[in-house]
């Protein structure tokens, strides 16, 4: 990265666009870019990703909050309960070989891409959907979802948005726009928790790269949020899924060849 910090700005903008439009997925692109384009080691990249994704998600959340598309109480519960999984995931990540971490992350990308190509059941995610509230069953599902998402955030350095939005629509019955807004707040909180849990692991971060990439990601997330509300969600999902398949294939080949 030394000598060419400018390239982090457009790369960050690209990942921010994805996050703003889809309510997640920024880290899924951020980590491969940091590793394969900007030359960071996997553990350094996953930690940098938490800062970049957390701040850009925060910027995108503001507009959704103003429009009333964020369920703040649910997001807080998902983040607080999820912190249990986040700390466990961070500890496990530090003990995993870097090549193994890349293979696992590439596999995760491929699974996410496949899930995004599946058609949603009729009525799921529509603006007429009625979220589930109250009851032991609701809170049990919320807790299980929170811990699983927290573990993903801690282990892979991802915000979990690619899983939060489908979970909120399929499991908790959120309308898609509310799921996207709530997801961004959960990503912000989860990323902050995961970053704090990694502070004692001795990872060195590249300050200029981090600032430049984050600035681009924040800009992209704001633009993406605006564009996402005016673009077909199905088209966005198909395009993103195709991109994930390509990135996953490249990461698997690179890991196997030892690059």
* CB-based contact 172:21 (threshold 8 Å): no
- Token readout for 61 is 């959340």
Residue with tokens 């990503």: 187
- 127 — phi, psi (to 5°)? -70, -15
Cα 85 from Cα 93, distance rounded (Å): 12
Residue with tokens 């990540």: 93
DSSP state of 121: P
Angle of CA points 212, 196, 151, to nearest 5°? 100
Tokens representing 171 are 């499991």
- Torsion angles phi and psi, residue 23, rounded to 5: 80, 15
pTM tops 0.85? no
H or E stretch including 71? none
- The answer to whether residues 38 and 209 touch, using CB atoms and an 8 Å cutoff, is yes
DSSP structure class, residue 127: T
Q: Are 188 and 61 in contact (CB under 8 A)?
A: yes
Nearest C-alpha neighbor of 58 from the set 100, 26, 102: 26
Indicate the SS3 state at residue 205: coil
What is the full per-residue pLDDT of the chain (259 aa) written as tens digits? 444 567 889 988 988 887 777 766 676 788 888 988 888 888 888 889 889 888 888 888 988 898 888 999 889 888 888 888 888 888 888 788 878 888 888 888 788 778 777 776 655 445 555 555 666 777 888 888 888 888 877 787 666 666 777 778 777 778 877 888 898 898 888 888 888 888 877 777 888 899 999 999 889 888 887 777 677 767 767 777 787 788 788 888 887 776 5
| Alpha-helical runs (H) found in 67-160 | 72-94, 98-117, 135-156
Q: At what angle do helices 98-117 and 233-257 cross, to 10 degrees?
A: 150
């Amino acid at each position: 990265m030394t000598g060419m910090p400018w390239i982090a700005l457009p790369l960050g903008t690209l990942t921010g666009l994805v996050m703003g439009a889809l309510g997640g997925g920024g880290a899924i692109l951020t980590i491969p870019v940091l590793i394969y384009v900007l030359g960071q080691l996997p553990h350094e990249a996953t930690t940098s990703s938490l800062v970049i994704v957390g701040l850009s998600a925060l910027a995108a959340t503001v507009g959704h909050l103003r429009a009333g598309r964020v369920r703040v109480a649910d997001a807080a519960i998902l983040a607080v309960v999820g912190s249990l999984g986040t700390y466990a995931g961070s500890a496990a990540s530090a003990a995993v070989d870097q090549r193994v971490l890349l293979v696992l992350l590439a596999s995760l990308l491929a699974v996410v891409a496949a899930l995004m190509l599946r058609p949603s059941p009729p009525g799921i995610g529509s603006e007429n959907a009625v979220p589930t509230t109250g009851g032991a069953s609701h809170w049990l599902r919320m807790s299980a979802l929170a811990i699983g998402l927290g573990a993903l955030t801690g282990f892979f350095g991802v915000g979990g948005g690619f899983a939060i939005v489908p979970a909120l629509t399929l499991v908790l019955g959120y309308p898609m726009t509310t799921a996207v807004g709530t997801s961004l707040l959960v990503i912000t909180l989860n990323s902050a928790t995961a970053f704090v849990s990694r502070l004692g692991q001795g990872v060195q971060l590249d300050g200029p790269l981090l600032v430049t990439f984050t600035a681009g990601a924040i800009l992209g997330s704001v633009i993406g949020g605006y564009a996402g509300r005016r673009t077909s969600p199905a088209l966005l999902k198909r395009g993103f899924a195709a991109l994930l398949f390509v990135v996953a294939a490249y990461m698997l080949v690179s890991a196997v060849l030892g690059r």
